[in-house]
Amino acid sequence: MARAKIALIGSGMIGGTLAHLAGLKELGDIVLFDIAEGTPQGKALDIAQSAPVEGFDARLSGANDYAAIEGADVCIVTAGVARKPGMSRDDLLGINLKVMEQVGAGIAKYAPNAFVICITNPLDAMVWALQKFSGLPKNKVVGMAGVLDSARFRHFLADEFKVSVEDVTAFVLGGHGDTMVPLTRYSTVAGVPLTDLVKMGWLTAERLEEIVQRTRDGGAEIVGLLKTGSAYYAPAASAIVMAESYLKDKKRVLPAAASLKGEYGQNDLYVGVPVVIGAAGVERVIEIELNGDEQTQFTNSVNSVKGLMEACIGIAPNL
């Protein structure tokens, strides 16, 4: 059987890390694409030269032409710009929306059967726009944020409790960042919900709230430390898990920005919910019952995503 083909659209910090991880995990042959000349070619060559040392087989190539992504099984999109000082949310939206239009056209032309994972910010609005611009089926276009947000939450909890990260599960809903909704009653240590761990005296409710807030601010904390960019190791690892679940039909249950058609009372909107990812793409959206407080937080999150979508429509009325 031929190897899968993975196209990375955007070859910056996350794109390069995605290529490295996809190689190490032998997920398939990898094409790096970018508008910057030389960057995708240079990263492809560098990673290809690590293959004999690491012992993985994958063909790596770099390109500035969309024709190179032809027939890709998976496209992971990180193309765009990050917010810089002095730039408004609308400025960022305007720039990245144009990028999504180009990327959508490229995927529609050369990789219409791909499973597409969008990472570009502002995530929930960009994945929604990318689906529209590409015209690909909604179950084949998904956004990565929840795996990252829950991984950050799991890391902080494991560190707090001095237990293995493997035994901590976390459940998050909603949009990426500020309005993320962590569901503490569904987040556990070896199956014991955090709400019970508070009762058991493992941590106080206040300390749990601090950890939740640090998770929400997880991206900003790293930007503050790096100064010149945002996180890329954990975001790349998170998208790779989603790609792997699709390519290997693992049917993993992962939080992701998915298109809702009635679930959680929402329509034609992308927001973070638990989904099953398998060979058919997003095979199922898992709809859980929310309590009053969770529902309020989720509605708040959905409203902020809708605000971003409206800003997109203001810029691109054809959406």
Residue 120 interacts with ligand TXD (CB under 6 A): yes or no: yes
20 is catalytic: no
Q: Which residues within the stretch 27-66 sit at the binding site for ligand TXD (CB under 6 A)?
A: 34-36, 39
**Which one of the listed residues 6, 176, 216, 264 is annotated catalytic?**
176
Which CB sits closer to ligand TXD, 74 or 197?
74
CB of 220 to ligand TXD, least distance (A): 11
Which CB sits closer to ligand TXD, 65 or 166?
65
CB of 10 to ligand TXD, least distance (A): 4
Which CB sits closer to ligand TXD, 123 or 277?
123
CB-side neighbour CA atoms (13 Å) of 301: 28
Please state, in angstroms and as integers, the Cα–Cα distance from residue 102 to each residue in 28, 34, 35, 108, following that order. Answer: 25, 12, 11, 10
Residue 77 interacts with ligand TXD (CB under 6 A): yes or no: no
- Site track for ligand TXD across 159-198, x = CB under 6 A: -----------------x----------------------
Q: Tell me how crowded residue 225 is: count the other CB atoms within 10 A of its CB.
A: 8
Cα–Cα distance for residue pair 10/77, rounded to 1 Å: 6
Q: Which residues within the stretch 95-114 sit at the binding site for ligand TXD (CB under 6 A)?
A: 99, 102
Q: Which of 65, 80, 64, 89 is nearest to 130 (CA)?
A: 80
CB of 35 to ligand TXD, least distance (A): 4
Tell me which stretch binds ligand TXD (CB under 6 A): 21-29, 108-116, 144-152, 271-279: 144-152
Partner residues linked to 261 by β-bridges: 267
Partner residues linked to 271 by β-bridges: 258
Is the distance from CB of 294 to CB of 309 less than 8 angstroms?
no
Q: Which of 48, 41, 89, 93 is nearest to 68 (CA)?
A: 41
Q: Is the peptide bond before 193 cis (omega within 30 degrees of 0)?
A: no
Cα–Cα distance for residue pair 136/116, rounded to 1 Å: 9
Q: What is the DSSP letter of 165?
A: G
Q: Which of 76, 59, 63 is nearest to 244 (CA)?
A: 76
Tell me which stretch binds ligand TXD (CB under 6 A): 143-151, 153-161, 178-186, 283-291: 143-151
Is the distance from CB of 242 to CB of 23 less than 8 angstroms?
no
CB of 178 to ligand TXD, least distance (A): 13
Residue 121 interacts with ligand TXD (CB under 6 A): yes or no: yes
CB of 107 to ligand TXD, least distance (A): 11
Q: Looking at the annotation, which residues are catalytic?
A: 176
Contacting residues toward ligand TXD, per CB under 6 A: 9-15, 34-36, 39, 78-80, 82, 99, 102, 119-121, 123, 144-145, 148, 176, 219, 229-232, 235
